[in-house]
Structure 1
Amino acid sequence: MNISRRNFLKTGTLAFAGTTLLSHELFAAGKAKELLGIQLYSIREDMKKDPSGTLKQLAGMGYKNVEHANYVNRKFYGYTAKEFKKLLNDFGLFMPSGHTVMGKQHWDAAKNDFTDEWKYTVEDAATVGQHYVISPWLDESLRKTYDDFKAYMDVFNKSGELCKKSGMKFGYHNHDFEFSQQLNGHKLFDLILQHTDPLLVVQQLDIGNMYHAGGRALDIIKQYPGRFELMHVKDEIKAAGKGEMGSAYESTVLGKGIIPVKEIIDLGKKSGGTTHFIIEQESYQDKTPLACAKEDLKVMKQWGY
């Protein structure tokens, strides 16, 4: 996901082994029904101009599930939670997950509790029908030191407890810095998975973002089996100019780029614990965002999803 959206277990061998074992147990506990959807950031300008008309077009293409990337002042794309749920229902759509950045302003350390703003976020997510509340960013101020970072992973776990009370799960979505930045000699991504409780904090693996920083989804899924309930399905190509997040890459239609997408999603389905496959494309080359959304869905269906 584009960086502009920021305006949005203990370590050690034994602890890591325990986490890995728990991952296997979580995955073996039962496979949920697979779900295919689209991250609405893929068609952000269309959603900005005409949310209702755009959702109608997605439904007409055959989409059944969407994931939001716009929750501001307790509204989704300008609609209250109840209004947006009705709008989705009118088109036969569901929104099992959504992106809202959980930041420093959402946690009151003095009170050891979340601020009302984050409590409302969780409340509205439940009202609109979400199963997952996903935070897609970790502010730079929260990852300057190991102690600050570790303390915020405790907040992640507490958010998982809060979401659980409403029948939902809290999750985190990676970009690229998790694979390029290290604290105490460990990549942030490894620290996130080692310092969060898998029962409280799920991972949404963005298979494209990590590529920018040398992360490879196949390797990650093998390293942490059963940890990725959700996945952002994305392909990448070399950008003609400046790419996404300042990298040399940009996303493209599935199957047209350098990411082994089908192999990754098949492995996610087999051993990654993945049940939610969310299409996301942020760059479109010579096509419109909606045309890409239609083509991406067609490819996924050809692949059996």
Structure 2
Amino acid sequence: MNISRRSFLMKGTLALAGTTLFSRQLSAIAKKKEVLGIQLYSIRDDMKTDPLGTLRQLADMGYKNVEHAGYGNRKFYGYAAKDFKRVLGDLGLSMPSGHTVMGKQHWDAGKKDFTDEWKYTVEDAAVMGQRFVISPWLDESMRTNYDDFKNYMDVFNKSGELCKKSGMKFGYHNHDFEFSQELNGKKIFDLILESTDPALVAQQLDIGNMYHAGGIALDIIKKYPGRFELMHVKDEIKAADKGEMGGGYESTVLGKGIIPVKEVIDLGKKSGGTRHFIIEQESYQGLSPLESVKQDLDVMKKWGY
């Protein structure tokens, strides 16, 4: 081999290595790219009366991702999984996550296995292309006795194992009681994070719900760095009545309330492990739900999301 050929091959090898490294860097960046979406509970009445027309309006606003809260009897808003996936796809929408409450009726303690109903829930989520199957509630009967609670956290982890078989992850979404109720001297929220395997159970931090019980999102993210793969992005204002969940507060358009939302989502992105940011608004102060979520999206885009 002459020198010029050796030099040529060495340069080519270095160039290839550099290209490979650059490709890996691009891949890493792509994996970390944020997913911005909307929880369809925000426009629940519109989804009941005209799901297709409502989804079309969301797509026209610029939304690319949705999160369902309308699954039952193996249907999403009246559509079988494969049909709803087609509906979303035709509109340029995806559904990386969804909410379905996993209750104690979904676990057969005698057989030590999930019921068919929960297995179908996971199966249909996989058909939809979801990455997360999220349960947004913990039955009160599962949080009155420490031993019952611990046993049910084992079911959480087992649900994570079930979802993993289909390339997904089980997740939990908080309300307010997790920050006000205690078992064995510890808040329910702390016990959930201590008792679940983060490799199997993702946490979706609702930064508005917790405020009703005195939870502060910035403090929670700092306490549990890297634990919040998903976030419900909300703002809160003082309600004229008892408000949502009886806490005296209700949700509002982002940036109009008392939660430092941008600071929270920036911290989630920086150290919370958050990549999925899901807008949710449940009260509207005279605006229509659709106008509210349009303004929410505009704010998030203004903030660089």
Pair in the same fold by TM > 0.5: yes
Counterpart position of 1:277: 277
User: Per-residue deviation at 1:246?
Assistant: 1.4
Q: Structure 1, unaligned stretches of length 5 or more?
A: 1-27
User: Per-residue deviation at 1:182?
Assistant: 0.0
Counterpart position of 2:63: 63
User: Per-residue deviation at 1:286?
Assistant: 1.1
Q: Is 2:130 aligned against 1:139?
A: no
Counterpart position of 1:17: none
The equivalences for 1:57-206 within 5 A come to 57-206=57-206
Counterpart position of 1:261: 261
- SS of 2:196's partner is coil
User: Per-residue deviation at 1:197?
Assistant: 0.2
In structure 1, what is the Cα distance between the partners aligned to 2:160 and 2:90?
A: 31
Any idea what the Cα deviations from partners look like across 1:163-212, whole Å, max 9, x if unmatched? 00000000000000000000000000000000000000000000000000
- SS of 2:282's partner is coil
Amino acid at match of 2:280: E
User: Per-residue deviation at 1:32?
Assistant: 2.5
In structure 2, what is the Cα distance between the partners aligned to 1:32 and 1:113?
A: 34
In structure 1, what is the Cα distance between the partners aligned to 2:218 and 2:31?
A: 20
User: Per-residue deviation at 1:99?
Assistant: 0.0
Is the 1:31–1:273 Cα contact (8 Å) retained in structure 2?
A: no
In structure 1, what is the Cα distance between the partners aligned to 2:283 and 2:129?
A: 29
Decide which structure has the larger Cα Rg and report it: 2
Two-structure CA RMSD over aligned residues (Å)? 1.2
Which is bigger in relative contact order (C-alpha 8 A, separation at least 6)? 1
Q: How many correspondences in the alignment?
A: 278
Counterpart position of 1:25: none
Counterpart position of 1:302: 302
- SS of 1:277's partner is strand
Q: Is 2:223 aligned against 1:223?
A: yes
User: Per-residue deviation at 1:63?
Assistant: 0.1
Is the 1:205–1:228 Cα contact (8 Å) retained in structure 2?
A: yes
Amino acid at match of 1:204: Q
Counterpart position of 1:241: 241
Is the 1:153–1:192 Cα contact (8 Å) retained in structure 2?
A: yes
In structure 2, what is the Cα distance between the partners aligned to 1:190 and 1:171?
A: 15
In structure 2, what is the Cα distance between the partners aligned to 1:91 and 1:286?
A: 29
The equivalences for 1:2-17 within 5 A come to none
- SS of 1:147's partner is helix
- SS of 2:134's partner is strand
User: Per-residue deviation at 1:152?
Assistant: 0.3
Please identify runs of 4+ aligned residues in structure 1 that moved more than 2 A. Answer: none
Counterpart position of 1:9: none
In structure 2, what is the Cα distance between the partners aligned to 1:242 and 1:219?
A: 25
User: Per-residue deviation at 1:31?
Assistant: 5.5
- SS of 1:152's partner is helix
Amino acid at match of 1:250: E
In structure 2, what is the Cα distance between the partners aligned to 1:216 and 1:255?
A: 16
In structure 2, what is the Cα distance between the partners aligned to 1:191 and 1:242?
A: 28
Any idea what the Cα deviations from partners look like across 1:74-101, whole Å, max 9, x if unmatched? 0000000001000000100000000000
- SS of 1:92's partner is coil
In structure 2, what is the Cα distance between the partners aligned to 1:272 and 1:31?
A: 16
User: Per-residue deviation at 1:70?
Assistant: 0.6
Amino acid at match of 2:39: Q
User: Per-residue deviation at 1:259?
Assistant: 0.3
Any idea what the Cα deviations from partners look like across 1:215-263, whole Å, max 9, x if unmatched? 0000000000000000000000000112001120000000000000000
In structure 1, what is the Cα distance between the partners aligned to 2:155 and 2:146?
A: 14
Counterpart position of 2:24: none
